[in-house]
Amino acid sequence: MIARELAFAVWVSLKTSGLAALIASAVAVPAALFLSGRDFRGKKIVLLVNQTWMAAPTVVIGLLFYSLLSRNGPLGGLGLLYTQTAMTVGQIFLILPLVVGFSYTALRQVDRRARQTALTLGASRRQAGWIVLREARFPLLVAVLAGFARAISEVGIAMMLGGNIRGATRNITTSIALETAKGEFRNGVVLGVLLLVITLGINILVQTGLRGRDGES
């Protein structure tokens, strides 16, 4: 694999997975804040569905969106199949329950008195929510980075919705699958090591954030 193709594969992985993590987090964190701060009928069912969704195989999600985006599917007219957009959408729905679950756990660990004290002192629900988010900012960062790591390391959705098209949708994981299928195990190992380095970088960021949190406390 030439350097230009390698660089493009890395760029596609970072772009699609990073965008998926940002969009999923923008939805998941407010949802987790709502779930952690209120009790309502059916809450346990919502949490159970989210936990079940977290365990869904990537191939199942890929197949679901393939059926939606294919030419004969209800969204086939959008022409999104085998595009980076389709890969991003699939990854959003893959990591959304993961970020919700991790964020919910993080927010539940915040002392409930912080919210109640803020409300007692005249803060609105939104202001009290910001206080809770600030208290849990480092665990929330861990949730977001975990979602990104999950997205960038999956292959089922990227293969089914992206099509592994050279110069368009080929990313790190689909390149590994292709190189291995061709018998180019050396290239596959190099790409695998590169993916591990990216994952290691994410873990370093998480650990740095946690050490920073401990230093403040």
Distance CA 152, CA 168 (A): 16
**pTM as predicted:** 0.87
Query: In what helix (H) or strand (E) does residue 88 lie, and over which residues does it extend?
Result: helix 84-108
Q: Which two tokens stand for residue 139?
A: 């665990």
Q: Which two tokens stand for residue 169?
A: 């949708």
Percent of the chain whose predicted confidence (pLDDT) is above 90: 52
Q: Check residues 203 and 106 and name the one with the higher pLDDT.
A: 106
Distance CA 31, CA 97 (A): 10
The pLDDT of 68-90, averaged and rounded, is 94
Q: Running DSSP on this structure, what letter comes out for residue 76? A: G
Radius of gyration (C-alpha) of the chain in whole angstroms: 20
Check: CB of residue 172 under 8 Å from CB of residue 17. Answer: no
Q: Running DSSP on this structure, what letter comes out for residue 206? A: H
Q: Check residues 117 and 58 and name the one with the higher pLDDT.
A: 58
Residues 8-34 pLDDT 10s: 999 999 999 999 999 999 999 999 989
What pLDDT score does 135 carry?
80
Report the CATH superfamily, name and number, of domain 3-216: MetI-like (1.10.3720.10)
The pLDDT of 188-199, averaged and rounded, is 87
What pLDDT score does 111 carry?
61
Give me the torsion for CA of 28, 31, 33, 34, rounded to 10°: 180
Task: Mean pLDDT check: name the lowest of 22-31, 38-47, 120-129, 207-216.
Answer: 207-216
Q: Check residues 198 and 206 and name the one with the higher pLDDT.
A: 198
The pLDDT of 139-164, averaged and rounded, is 92
Domain limits, the chain = 3-216
Distance CA 214, CA 217 (A): 5
